[in-house]
Structure 1
Amino acid sequence: MRASGAVTRSTLRQQIADALRDEVLAGRLQPGREFTVKQIAEQYGVSATPVREALFDLSAQGLLESDQHRGFRVHQFSVADYRSMVEARTLVMDAVIRDVFREPPPSAARQTRYREALVSVRRRADEAARAARGGDLDILIGYDLRFWRELGALAGNAYIGDFLHRLRVQAWMFAVPYLRGDADVRDWLWQGHSDLVAAVTLRDREALRAVVDHYNGHALNWADRLAAGDPDRPGRAPRPPGAAADPDPAAPEG
């Protein structure tokens, strides 16, 4: 395992957690990969205590599994898990949309702050959409997570924002090994970020719901494709014509 960068001594726990999360989202730490506190501590040249704390933080976020005898393992999500993530965020986002438009029009001062916040969100949206069109996963994931994080902050509920952010990190963690081995990756990267910002800017409830429905439907359509075995295995290119199919370990049973 190769460290992606040096870790300073200022906020070791968070920096180690962030570095390992980046490794997972980049696909360099594959699902099922096992490692110990000692290995990570040696990798970053730090003591075991902040490493152990960081690993338990990532376990609490559902990204790692801990085993007192074998150390830690990168969690492996199934297609069924991914579907449940999409369904959960759909329910929460529907409620958020209803609440946002139930409120009376914001005051002039709040409208000003709202417009200023949207400037940053729109910039994230443009960068995320550009990366999606180019099929650049590494850039897309970072901008996509920041986009949704900042957009969610406009709703004013940090608990909902944290919940949705965790779901999106888990969803990307599941998706990355498949997307990196998919020749049609650009077709399965959602590009509607700018449309969503436009609907939020205009406070157009129907347009907002339509974009969010497309976002979630796009993800579920991709899950259908995975359940059908296309691409056949995470992290591998599609089979050549006539090649024998291996069972997909991540496909749901039944």
Structure 2
Amino acid sequence: METAPIAGLQPLTKRERLREMVADALRAAVISGEMRPGAVYSAPTLGTMFGVSATPVREAMLDLVREGMVEPLPNKGYQVRTVPEEELDQTTHIRLLLEPPTVRDIVPLVPPEDFPRLRELAEAIVTAVRGNDLVAYIHADREFHLALIAYAGNHQLSLIVSDLRARTRLLGLTPLLESGRLEESAREHHELLDLVEAGDAVGAQALMERHIRHVRGKWAGKGTSPKA
């Protein structure tokens, strides 16, 4: 069983939202590669590293199981998932079917007074990248896209898109951040808002398609994007 210390995990003081704090720290460890795919981690061992009991660790791990980051191993602990390329391509395909046409449809539905808030959400993505904060980047990126999808008024669609996005952001974030290419992707959110604010529904749809394909291709280290 894996018991080696993880550099990014520090003891946490008990306070409100302990489960969320532990979950964020675990996500960061998975995304950065400190928690390695295939390695098994026990809740008591991780709890010791955090300076908390195993209970909030188990609760946080349940969140990561639902997000597809780890899988439970009975009587052993949790194993970081190795996400197959085929699964990532299939998930990207579904996202392409849902997100670009939804962005196209919401263009006339966004009131002018909402753009300052949307700009703040887009800038939070860029700020997180510049601060080398991958967990903040993931949260900001999710909040921005779900805010746009929400204008469609379809709660079930929002839930599906949220789940799909969680399943496609596990691969290669750290190398992208270190190379500077993640900031390029982050700035595309402002470009998308430019098109939405200009009322260019077709352009917004096309940019959303490119954004999904580019991100998938970059994270996979591919020269070309996957076929939809």
**One-letter code aligned to 1:46:** V
Contact persistence 2:188–2:211 (CA under 8 A): yes
Partner-residue secondary structure (3-state), 1:174: coil
Partner-residue secondary structure (3-state), 2:153: coil
Q: Segments of 4+ in structure 1 off by > 6 A?
A: none
**Quick check: 1:149 aligned with 2:155?**
no
**Quick check: 1:77 aligned with 2:88?**
no
Which one of 114, 117, 128 corresponds to residue 120 of structure 1?
117
| Contiguous gaps of at least 5 residues in structure 2 | 1-5
**One-letter code aligned to 1:154:** Y
Partner-residue secondary structure (3-state), 1:30: coil
Q: Closer, same or farther in 2 for the Cα pair 1:157/1:170, shift >3 Å?
A: same
Q: CA deviation at 1:150?
A: 2.9
Residue in structure 1 matched with residue 3 of structure 2 by the alignment: none
Residue in structure 2 matched with residue 43 of structure 1 by the alignment: 49
Which one of 187, 191, 202 corresponds to residue 206 of structure 1?
202
Q: Closer, same or farther in 2 for the Cα pair 1:58/1:86, shift >3 Å?
A: same
Larger Rg: 1
Alpha-carbon RMSD: 3.2
Counting only pairs closer than 5 Å after superposition, residues 159-178 of structure 1 correspond to structure 2 as: 159-176=156-173
Counting only pairs closer than 5 Å after superposition, residues 205-244 of structure 1 correspond to structure 2 as: 205-222=201-218, 225-226=221-222
1:41-87, Cα deviation, whole Å (9 max, x unpaired): 21222222232222122112211110013210111112222212211
Q: CA deviation at 1:207?
A: 1.3
Partner-residue secondary structure (3-state), 2:141: helix
**One-letter code aligned to 1:6:** L
Task: Give the distance between the partners of 2:166 and 2:49, measured in 1 at CA.
Answer: 24
Contact persistence 2:9–2:50 (CA under 8 A): yes
**One-letter code aligned to 1:82:** L
Partner-residue secondary structure (3-state), 1:43: helix
**One-letter code aligned to 2:204:** L
Residue in structure 2 matched with residue 68 of structure 1 by the alignment: 74
Q: Closer, same or farther in 2 for the Cα pair 1:117/1:29, shift >3 Å?
A: farther
Task: Give the distance between the partners of 1:47 and 1:131, measured in 2 at CA.
Answer: 30
Task: Give the distance between the partners of 1:137 and 1:189, measured in 2 at CA.
Answer: 15
| Contiguous gaps of at least 5 residues in structure 1 | 229-254
Residue in structure 2 matched with residue 186 of structure 1 by the alignment: 181
Across the two proteins, how many residue pairs are aligned to each other?
216
Contact persistence 2:10–2:50 (CA under 8 A): no
